[in-house]
Amino acid sequence: MDRLLRSSGVRLTAMAAGLFAACTLALCILIYLGLRDDMEDQLRAQIRNETSQLIGDYNDDGLEELRHDISERLERHPGNRLRYTLTSPGGISIFDRIDLPERGGWSRLKQEGASDLIVLTTPLDDGYRLGIGADTRIVGEAARALRHAMLVVVIPALLLSLVAGLLVSRRFLARVENMKSTAEAVGRKSLSARMPVSPSGDEFDSLAGTINQMLDRIEALVRDVRYVSASIAHDLRTPLGHLRQRLERLVDTADTPAQRDELAETTALLDDVLATFAALLKIAELESRSTPVATETIDLSEIAGRVVSTFAAVAEAENKSISLVSAEPVYVVGDAQLITQMLVNLVENALRHNQAGVHVEVSVSRDEGAAQLLVRDDGVGIPEGELENAIKPFHRLDRSRTTTGSGLGLSLAASIARHHGAELHLTKLEPGLEVRCLFPRPA
């Protein structure tokens, strides 16, 4: 819900709703002012006509006839009617008690506890004044009725617009989330993922189609590069294998120990080249997903125990140490041979690139239900800025290439992890390095 409220779609919906409310309020004010002015104009017209009739009688028959006419009107309409007052030169008012202004013309008089009066004052002969007014109560009642009607209509309309906007935003966010999930999958090197395209053919579908075409092109280019790399490695491995066999035969027929040592060193170098080609072919095979994921249930603790036992003697001979921390069996589904190869690479990497005295710890455990395999050492570690590059093929911290290795160990381990849906994380320690392989939780 928090993500929904922070989304641009919801903000646009809120802005649209606010604009709608402001426009509706402005429209209501205009309608109210227009209705009020129109009703007051009708009252003024009624007062003006009544004044014209009474002044006509006054001009014909005098003041007494004016009084008589006003009395008849009051008797005929005792309830809802106009207000009449006739004020003498001495300030005495008869009929309705209205304090007329000294000056003739229109005026608006305040009444305590009641609505205003619109009054037209007309001067007569000998200091008399005739005032005819109308109560604006009917205007206020109409305005209240209009406000009530506006509230009844506008508030539900505003709420409906908000609900509709939220529904549209939720649908908008769902489309964005699908595209985001696909982009994240591509970012995790799953180039086969594609943006979902709906039958509606809207702008999202057009964008998704364009991105899918781009991904098709990228996937084809990457596939071609992998094919070329794998083809080179495969084609060179066979003649190099034959070359190694010849070197072995030459070692047996060498005349002097110096020749045998030179041939043995050449054979060792050739073995490194063959190992590099083998790693390249395995990475290409895993990344192309041509190898199906095995579905056997394996115990990570058992694999870790075998690998630690294998490297214990090698570590001791180099004045290094290795230990295993595993409290109980931890099962995952995968390929035992590949996972063993991954752990061998990680342990070998930790022992090879650290000086004497380093301690390597292999541990197997569960983290919130997910199996994890850790290889931790207290050696020189990897600089923070190099952690992301460390798993790239052929990347080596030793720029001079004086240490052994091809720079494919961590890269192959990362490929094996991805092949099993796991994630390989490198963390700098003080001192040392931690490599954590986190397997997916069981379904």
Residue 119 placed within a domain? yes
281 in Cβ contact with 233 (< 8 Å): yes
* Residues 180-209, mean pLDDT to the nearest whole number: 77
Residue 183 placed within a domain? no
* Residues 332-349, mean pLDDT to the nearest whole number: 85
Question: Residue 203: enclosing H or E segment and its boundaries?
Answer: helix 203-253
241 CB-near residues (< 8 Å, 6+ apart): 274
Choose the weakest-confidence range: 21-35, 49-63, 207-221.
Answer: 21-35
Domain boundary pick from 287, 313, 333? 287
Question: Residue 132: enclosing H or E segment and its boundaries?
Answer: strand 129-135
Residue 186 placed within a domain? no
Residue 214 placed within a domain? yes
Query: Residues 86-144: pLDDT tens digits?
Result: 888 877 888 887 888 888 888 888 877 777 888 888 998 888 888 888 888 877 777 77
pLDDT at 359: 92
Q: What is the CATH number of the domain that holds 52?
A: 3.30.450
Q: What is the CATH number of the domain that holds 239?
A: 1.10.287
Same domain? For 27 and 82 the reply is yes
**Strands laid side by side in the 359-367 sheet:** 321-326, 359-367, 370-377, 433-438, 423-428
* Residues 134-155, mean pLDDT to the nearest whole number: 77
Angstrom distance (rounded) from CA 375 to CA 379: 12
Choose the weakest-confidence range: 143-152, 325-334, 353-362.
Answer: 143-152
Q: Both tokens of residue 325?
A: 């921390």
Neighbours of 53 (CB within 10 A): 11
Biggest alpha carbon–alpha carbon distance for the chain: 159
401 CB-near residues (< 8 Å, 6+ apart): none
Range of the domain at 20: 2-140
Q: What is the CATH number of the domain that holds 354?
A: 3.30.565.10
Same domain? For 280 and 300 the reply is no
Domain boundary pick from 140, 155, 172? 140
Residue with the two structure tokens 């702008």: 203
307 in Cβ contact with 344 (< 8 Å): yes
Same domain? For 11 and 108 the reply is yes
Residue 282: pLDDT band (50, 70, 90) is low
Same domain? For 242 and 336 the reply is no
Same domain? For 346 and 247 the reply is no
Same domain? For 132 and 250 the reply is no
Q: 3-class SS at 9?
A: helix
Same domain? For 322 and 431 the reply is yes
Residue 399: pLDDT band (50, 70, 90) is very low
Angstrom distance (rounded) from CA 427 to CA 438: 13
* Residues 65-86, mean pLDDT to the nearest whole number: 81
pLDDT at 3: 54
Same domain? For 424 and 307 the reply is yes
Same domain? For 28 and 126 the reply is yes
Same domain? For 399 and 331 the reply is yes
pLDDT at 218: 78
Domain boundary pick from 270, 287, 304? 287
pLDDT at 397: 59
pLDDT at 341: 83
Between 231 and 50, name the one with better pLDDT. Answer: 50
Same domain? For 320 and 423 the reply is yes
pLDDT at 402: 46
Residue 169 placed within a domain? no
User: What's the total number of domains in the chain?
Assistant: 3
Same domain? For 273 and 306 the reply is no
Residue 190 placed within a domain? no
185 CB-near residues (< 8 Å, 6+ apart): 193
Residue 176 placed within a domain? no
Residue 172 placed within a domain? no
Q: Is the pLDDT of residue 74 over 70?
A: yes
Nearest of 349, 364, 362 to residue 309 by alpha carbon:
362
- Taking the CA atoms of the chain, what radius of gyration do you get in angstroms? 48
